Amino acid sequence: MPVPMMMLREPVARRRHDDPVQGFASDEIVHVREWGTGNTHLMPHSRDGTIGSARGSWIRLAHVAREHARISRVDGYWVLKDMSSSSGIRLDGVRHSMFSLVPGCEIEIGDVTLVAESRGLAALRDVLVRLLGWAPERVTEVDLAVRAVRMAALHREPLFLCGSDGDVLSAARLLHQHTLGSEHPFITCAPRRILTGRKVINIANSLKALKVATGGTLCIWPGHQLLKLVKANRPPTFSVQLIVCGPPSQRADVLIRSRIVIPSLRRRKTEMDRIINEYLVDARTELGGTFLSSDHTWIRRHDAKTLSRIELATRRLVALRSAGGSITRAARLLGIAHSALSEWVARRKVPDLVARD
Residue 232 has a pLDDT of: 75
The answer on 50 and 10 residing in a single domain is yes
CA angle, residues 179, 181, 187, in degrees to nearest 5 = 95
311 belongs to a structural domain: yes
The answer on 298 and 255 residing in a single domain is no
143 belongs to a structural domain: no
Tell whether the model's pLDDT for residue 2 goes beyond 90: no
Residue 21 has a pLDDT of: 43
Exposed/middle/buried for residue 20 (C-beta within 10 Å: 0-12, 13-18, 19+): buried
Tell whether the model's pLDDT for residue 140 goes beyond 60: yes
CATH number at residue 221: 3.40.50.300
The Cα–Cα gap between 308 and 317 comes to: 14
Reading across the β-sheet that carries 98-100, which strands appear in turn? 59-60, 48-52, 69-74, 77-82, 98-100
The answer on 37 and 67 residing in a single domain is yes
The answer on 336 and 314 residing in a single domain is yes
C-alpha 137: how far from chain center: 20
Domain of residue 52, residue span = 5-117
Tell whether the model's pLDDT for residue 248 goes beyond 90: no
Tell whether the model's pLDDT for residue 5 goes beyond 60: no
The answer on 77 and 33 residing in a single domain is yes
303 belongs to a structural domain: yes
The structural domain count of the chain equals 3
357 belongs to a structural domain: no
Please report which confidence band the pLDDT of residue 352 belongs to, taking 50, 70 and 90 as the band edges: low
Tell whether the model's pLDDT for residue 180 goes beyond 60: yes
Q: Judge contact between 162 and 248, C-beta under 8 A.
A: yes
- Phi, psi torsion values for 351, nearest 5 degrees: -75, 150
Q: Examine the fold and report which residue of 263, 288, 314 is the final residue of a domain before the chain moves on.
A: 263
Residue 227 has a pLDDT of: 67
Nearest alpha-carbon partner for 233 in 258, 263, 212, 254:
212
Residue 98 has a pLDDT of: 95
Q: Which long-range contacts (CB under 8 A, 24 or more apart) does 193-196 make?
A: 193/165, 194/165, 194/166, 194/169, 194/221, 195/169
pTM score of the predicted model = 0.84
Please report which confidence band the pLDDT of residue 88 belongs to, taking 50, 70 and 90 as the band edges: very high
H helices of the chain, where? Answer: 119-132, 139-153, 165-179, 206-212, 226-232, 272-287, 293-302, 307-322, 327-334, 338-348
| Largest Cα span, the chain | 73
Please report which confidence band the pLDDT of residue 10 belongs to, taking 50, 70 and 90 as the band edges: very low
The answer on 300 and 248 residing in a single domain is no
135 belongs to a structural domain: no
Average pLDDT, the chain: 84
Nearest alpha-carbon partner for 307 in 347, 346, 268:
268
141 belongs to a structural domain: no
The Cα–Cα gap between 93 and 28 comes to: 23
347 vs 177: which has the higher pLDDT: 177
Q: Span 30-59, mean pLDDT?
A: 93
Residue 190 has a pLDDT of: 82
The answer on 303 and 340 residing in a single domain is yes
Residue 107 has a pLDDT of: 96
Residue 27 has a pLDDT of: 81
